[in-house]
Amino acid sequence: MKTKLLAVTAGLLTATMLASAPAKADVKIGLIGGVSGPIAAMAPAMIDAARLAITHVNDQGGILDGETLVGVVGDSACNPQGGTDAATKAVNIEGVLAIVGPHCSGAVLAATGSVTVPAGVVVVTPSGTSPEISNIADNDTVFRTVPSDDYQGRALARTLRERGYDKVAVAYINNDYGTGLANAFRGEFEAQGGEIAGFAAHEDGKASYRSNLAELASGGADTLVLFDYGDGTGLTILRQALENGFFEKFVGGDGMKSDAPINELGAENLATFVASAPVGEKSASLDTFNALFKEAGGDPDAIFVTTSYDAAFLAALALEKAGGDKAGVAAALREVSNGEGEPIGPGEWSKAKELIAAGTAIDYKGAAGDHNFDANGDVPGTFALFEVGADGFEVITEMK
Amino acid sequence: MGLLEFINFYLIPGIVLGSIYALGAVGITLIFAILRYAHLAHGDLATLGAFIALAIVTSAGISPLAALPFAIVATAVVAVGIDKVFYEHLRERPKIITVIASLGIALMIRAVVQVIWGVDSESYVRGISRPDVYFGLRIRDREIFTVLAMLGLVGALYVFLKQSKWGKAMRAMSDNPNLALLSGIDNRVVIMLTWIIAGGLCAAAGVFLGINTEIKSMMGWHMLLPMFAAAILGGVGRVEGAVLGGLIVGITEELSVLILPGEYKAAMAFVILLFMLLVRPTGILRGKVL
Amino acid sequence: MEWIGLLNYALFMGIFIGIYALLALGLNIQWGFAGLFNAGIAGFFAVGAYTSAILTSAPADGRIGGYDLPFVIGWIAAMVAAAAIAWPIGKICLRFRSDYLAIATIGVAEIIRLVIKSEETLTNSARGIAGLPRPFGEWPYVESQAAFLVLVAAIVLVVYLLVERQFNSPWGRMMRAIRDNELAARAMGKDVEYRRLEAFIFGAAIMGLGGALFAHFNRSITPEAIDPMVATFLVWIMLILGGSGNNRGAILGAAVVWTIWSVSEIATDQLPHEYAVKAKYIRLFLIGLLLQLVLRFRSEGLLPEPLRGDQGNSGIDRERSVQS
């Protein structure tokens, strides 16, 4: 048996060696996501969106001197152990020049703290929403294309107040995403004179939330604000709330703007459901992305796909700008998206490449916002409120 | 809060949830009593059953209840197969080895489900079904089916264990394996029967969870700990105890939000369990002490 | 560049293996030597990690702690806190045998996890605590990794020597006696309950230290890190695979299992790109399968418990004590 074990180990090690000898013509970026673990349902679409950006790069002349951009997928399993492991492999074995991900805030904190910041590799997370990420001592190498929870929670609260929602109950998933959104929302909603008639967290993955809903409804609110994931527990809660008539109106954060509720519950049942999500200014970029992603067989309403695409495209732009120099990526990332220069939209790689070669300043206008990074590497984010129409989600109003 | 509200929004959901837990807990309690180890792949086996039913529902276009028998048979076959291929060789080793092996099996089953069916939430029937109101009680068809099917399946199992020759053999194995073996009971048949029953009930638990909510690749893993709590609460080896334990865990989970913040709902099963182990380690219905 | 990358990866693996080796050693005291089926490793890991995080992080609004203490104090406190929490748990739970103890400790660990996830004033709830000091953290990447590895390795060595000495002392003999034949040990006048509690607390303190090392290595601790899969079950796989009852086995098990866990991803990455996501599921399948193979062909572990004196049939005794 010892020999067998040795054989297996040797096989794995050989695979490692093979993997560590990349073809020289490739430029690699890491796509690290929670493929297994609690957000397994969301990760594939996010990785597909990031890879669409890579496809656009390669179809339109490649990166640097026509080299192929390769996305190396790593599994963070949505926990710090997996996040650091995947980041270490991406940085050291694969030799990536930038990382898109990890998806979960806990994995972002751990991977940046122990791997990427010391190694000087730029990280752009499309979905790590925790405010703690702003505070990482990162030498300016940690960015995100998703706004911190604070922005969205506040914007949503103001928009709801303007649209006449007075008394709401809030249910949120007990993780960094739900907690952050719910607390920001509560503060702003009350400051604007609204009433929170119920406020409760719930654990992921239970089979019944009817008692939670009954408890929330007992405060007398007619609207449920739900900060959860539309293809996870959020779907279960929305279903049980609709079936039992606990609330009349439903409001979701960006996590709830997913195709799953429409597919599983039917658009006709979601007439009173609205959801917020980040969009690009005037959302021309968003429309472009939606068309492109649909063409590639993806679902543009899936969660965090716009931010994933933007993160990968921005990383590619920064690499091009920095001339493939790892140390210059962070500065380049700020230059390609600082609000000044020729606007570049999703999919416009060849145009961007020419402009960069000509030395012209460019400004990426992403599907999920303009991504003008602030000092912490955060983006302010622009949001819109969506409702369910005949062909999926449609914008009702911009949120300020 | 009115009585009707209490029944509609706390008690009925608790009973339905408890019935699903009970279906899984019965299998766990049987494996505990006859094979004497904690089977950690039980939740993922339930997931597999739910997805097999989904495949039948989408390909044959029948209702999930009609697909249930097929899913039960298929999952029972898988369970027996897993036992033959992976657990059988470990029978003579310390039981902890099999517990760890079952953990590996859980990973493998989940991986198979994710590769074949993907990771998206699915449901058997699109759309929502609002409950019917009987004398102020709001009940859905599928909830009645869930509870009735649970009672039917467990009732049949109970009669089988009490009346049939092989059922008695299973109980004998559970009570005293050495004596049972001495009296000529065929160990292999008993073990196979145990896996058929446990696998079939697993599938039923998965399908009913799927009918009442959604079908996800992680659904079974999330149910594993409450099901274990239910099995031990009821008394290991006691089928009717597992049902009682399942119902108690389900109902207390739903009632817990009345006194505790919602995020502690998942802790309820363990609080009851710890309390029970302290005051009555044999479980509610005097079970085996392992 | 290539070999520097491999070296870095090896250093990282070494650090993780060291941290997991501590957890496996702690478990070995509880299971391998005292026969206590603790399935709540994640709970003690979490208490250690958070205790140290609260003591050593910078002050923050809305939660207790942020005392900015040196990490050494944090680590010692982590051990003390894990031991302190193990005491009441052990008092209550150790009267249960084998599988019941497992379920009870899983339950306690889940409750600890929920408290950590929900209590904002204590642990900053789901957001976790970031910005922890890391020893040698301000050094360049490779040097910092190497220095941390040396530190972890030194701690593992000290713990190993300490535990090994305990095992070969009369105390260890007594523990094994209690494990293998409780009745006889009791008849000899040994205070079985007290000794078991001792082993439980001793093991928990080491797990707490492992948690603290982990938190400081990552400069942060979040509730995702104490998921039962990565913080409890993985450690069990390591100990059983390495050889329970053997300290070197526990360390070797941690090394082998973590290597498989980590390197398997590189192996499945060789699949074509269109399978890049599915490859991650296949990876978990392979890990499960490999586990089955090792258990099937080497179920006593890579390094079985050494036979001491007339313990030639201890395996059979173990079997009986687990069953009964």
C291:B274 CB<8 A? no
Residue written as token pair 């001197």: A65
CA B175 to chain centre: 22
B100:C240 CB<8 A? yes
- Chains with ≥3 CB–CB distances under 8 Å to B: A, C
A376 touches chain C (CB under 8 A): no
> How does residue B2 score in pLDDT terms, banded at 50, 70 and 90?
confident
Residue written as token pair 């089926």: C37
Q: Please report which helix (H) or strand (E) contains residue C35, including its range.
A: none
CA distance C135 to C142: 14
CA distance A338 to A217: 45
Asked whether residue B288 is assigned to any structural domain, the reply reads no
DSSP per-residue string spanning A112-141? IIIIIHHHT-EEEESS---GGGGG---TT-
> How does residue A25 score in pLDDT terms, banded at 50, 70 and 90?
low
pLDDT digits (tens, 9 = 90+) for A235-246: 999 999 998 889
Asked whether residue C21 is assigned to any structural domain, the reply reads yes
| CATH at residue B58 | 1.10.3470
CB-neighbour burial class of residue C188 (10 A; exposed 0-12, middle 13-18, buried 19+)? exposed
Contacts 24+ apart (CB under 8 A), B275-282: B276/B232, B276/B233, B277/B232, B277/C93, B277/C96, B277/C100, B277/C104, B278/C92, B281/C95, B281/C96, B281/C100, B282/B235
Contacts of A230 (CB under 8 A, 6+ apart): A238, A252, A255, A256, A257, A258, A259, A260, A261, A275, A303
A113:C230 CB<8 A? no
> How does residue A12 score in pLDDT terms, banded at 50, 70 and 90?
low
CA distance B272 to B249: 8
| CATH at residue C89 | 1.10.3470
Asked whether residue C4 is assigned to any structural domain, the reply reads no
- Chains with ≥3 CB–CB distances under 8 Å to A: B, C
Has residue A55 got a pLDDT over 80?
Answer: yes
Has residue A400 got a pLDDT over 90?
Answer: no
Residue written as token pair 């837990």: B21
> How does residue A7 score in pLDDT terms, banded at 50, 70 and 90?
low
pLDDT in the model for residue A11: 53
Please tell me which residue of chain C has the smallest CA distance to B88. Answer: C296
> How does residue A274 score in pLDDT terms, banded at 50, 70 and 90?
very high
Number of domains making up chain B:
1
Interface test with B, best of A206, A258, A270 (most B CBs within 10 A): A206
Asked whether residue B287 is assigned to any structural domain, the reply reads no
Q: Is the dihedral of CA A293, A296, A302, A307 positive or negative?
A: negative
CB-neighbour burial class of residue A68 (10 A; exposed 0-12, middle 13-18, buried 19+)? middle
Has residue C315 got a pLDDT over 50?
Answer: no
CB-neighbour burial class of residue A90 (10 A; exposed 0-12, middle 13-18, buried 19+)? buried
- As a whole-number percent, the residues of chain C with pLDDT over 70 amount to 94
Q: Which of C96, C111, C299 sits opposite B97 (nearest CB)?
A: C299
CA distance B232 to B28: 9
CA distance C266 to B127: 42
CATH 3.40.50.2300 segments of chain A: 26-146+287-364, 149-271
pLDDT in the model for residue B204: 96
pLDDT in the model for residue B236: 85
pLDDT in the model for residue C161: 96
CB C130 within 8 Å of CB A109: yes
DSSP per-residue string spanning C50-95? HHHHHHHSPP-TTSS------HHHHHHHHHHHHHHHHHHHHHHHTT
Q: Is the dihedral of CA B191, B195, B196, B198 positive or negative?
A: positive
Strands A122-125 and A167-173: unpaired
Mean pLDDT of chain A: 87
pLDDT in the model for residue B109: 96
Residues 208-267 of A with CB under 8 A from C: none
Q: Is the dihedral of CA A99, A233, B25, B198 positive or negative?
A: negative
- As a whole-number percent, the residues of chain C with pLDDT over 90 amount to 50
Asked whether residue C228 is assigned to any structural domain, the reply reads yes
pLDDT digits (tens, 9 = 90+) for A152-211: 899 999 999 999 999 999 999 998 889 889 999 999 999 999 999 999 999 888 888 999
pLDDT in the model for residue C215: 96
Contacts of C73 (CB under 8 A, 6+ apart): C55, C56
CA-only gyration radius of chain A, Å: 21
Q: CA triplet A93, A97, A102: central angle to 5 degrees?
A: 80
pLDDT digits (tens, 9 = 90+) for C205-254: 999 999 999 999 999 999 999 988 889 989 999 999 898 889 999 999 99
What is the reported pTM? Answer: 0.90
Asked whether the bond before A102 is cis by omega within 30 degrees of 0, the reply is yes
- As a whole-number percent, the residues of chain A with pLDDT over 90 amount to 52
CA distance A362 to A350: 12
pLDDT in the model for residue A8: 52
A232:B216 CB<8 A? yes
The better pLDDT of the pair B22, B267 is held by: B22
Residue written as token pair 């107040």: A161
DSSP per-residue string spanning A13-49? HHHHHHHTS--TTEEEEEEEE--SSTTTTTHHHHHHH
pLDDT in the model for residue C311: 47
> How does residue B289 score in pLDDT terms, banded at 50, 70 and 90?
low
Taking alpha carbons only, the member of A111, A182, A176 closest to residue C125 is A176
Mean pLDDT of C101-108: 88
CB C159 within 8 Å of CB C202: no
**CA end-to-end span of chain A:** 65
B274:C107 CB<8 A? yes
- As a whole-number percent, the residues of chain B with pLDDT over 90 amount to 59
What value of ipTM does the predicted structure carry? 0.89
pLDDT in the model for residue A9: 53
Lowest mean pLDDT of B61-65, C114-118, C217-221, C299-303, name the range: C299-303
pLDDT digits (tens, 9 = 90+) for A218-258: 999 999 999 998 888 999 999 999 988 899 999 998 889 88
The DSSP call for residue C31 is I
A202:B263 CB<8 A? yes
A119 touches chain C (CB under 8 A): yes
pLDDT in the model for residue A32: 94
Sheet holding A195-202, edge to edge: A195-202, A167-173, A223-227, A249-252, A273-278, A383-389, A392-399
Residues of chain B in contact with residue A41, where contact means CB-CB under 8 angstroms, are: 119-121, 216-217
Across A134-293, the runs of DSSP E, i.e. the strands, are 142-144, 167-173, 195-202, 223-227, 249-252, 273-278
pLDDT in the model for residue B237: 86
pLDDT in the model for residue B278: 82
C157 touches chain B (CB under 8 A): no
Please tell me which residue of chain B has the smallest CA distance to A37. Answer: B218
Query: In 3-state terms, what secondary structure has residue A142?
Result: strand
Domain of C169 in residue numbering reads as: 10-323
Strand partners, C221: C129
C230:A79 CB<8 A? yes
Calculate how close chain C gets to A362, using CA atoms only, in Å: 31
Phi and psi angles of residue A393, each rounded to the nearest 5 degrees, phi first: -80, 135
Taking alpha carbons only, the member of B4, B12, B6 closest to residue B147 is B12
CA distance B49 to B192: 18
Asked whether residue C1 is assigned to any structural domain, the reply reads no
Residue B140: both structure tokens together: 């859905």
Has residue B118 got a pLDDT over 90?
Answer: no
pLDDT in the model for residue C247: 93
**A26-146+287-364 carries CATH number 3.40.50.880:** no
Lowest mean pLDDT of A260-264, C86-90, C319-323, name the range: C319-323
Residues of chain A in contact with residue B130, where contact means CB-CB under 8 angstroms, are: 243-245
pLDDT in the model for residue C289: 92
Mean pLDDT of chain C: 88
Mean pLDDT of chain B: 91
A197 touches chain C (CB under 8 A): no
Q: Is the dihedral of CA C126, C130, C136, C138 positive or negative?
A: positive
Asked whether residue B284 is assigned to any structural domain, the reply reads no
Q: Which of C128, C131, C263 sits opposite A12 (nearest CB)?
A: C263
Residue C324: both structure tokens together: 């009964």
C118:B261 CB<8 A? yes
Has residue B107 got a pLDDT over 60?
Answer: yes
Asked whether residue C286 is assigned to any structural domain, the reply reads yes
Across chain B, the runs of DSSP E, i.e. the strands, are 132-134, 137-139
Q: How many CB atoms lie within 10 A of CB A163?
A: 12
Please tell me which residue of chain C has the smallest CA distance to B106. Answer: C288
Tell me the CATH class for A149-271.
alpha beta
Mean pLDDT of C7-19: 95
The better pLDDT of the pair B194, B176 is held by: B194
CA B241 to chain centre: 13
Has residue C276 got a pLDDT over 60?
Answer: yes
Has residue C324 got a pLDDT over 60?
Answer: no
> How does residue C314 score in pLDDT terms, banded at 50, 70 and 90?
very low
Number of domains making up chain C:
1
Q: Which of B127, B129, B214 sits opposite A235 (nearest CB)?
A: B214
Asked whether residue B199 is assigned to any structural domain, the reply reads yes
pLDDT digits (tens, 9 = 90+) for A338-356: 888 899 999 999 999 999 9
Asked whether residue C232 is assigned to any structural domain, the reply reads yes
C295:B97 CB<8 A? yes
Please tell me which residue of chain B has the smallest CA distance to C292. Answer: B101
A113:C298 CB<8 A? no
Calculate how close chain A gets to B273, using CA atoms only, in Å: 18
pLDDT in the model for residue A10: 52
pLDDT digits (tens, 9 = 90+) for B53-90: 999 999 999 999 999 999 999 999 999 999 999 999 89
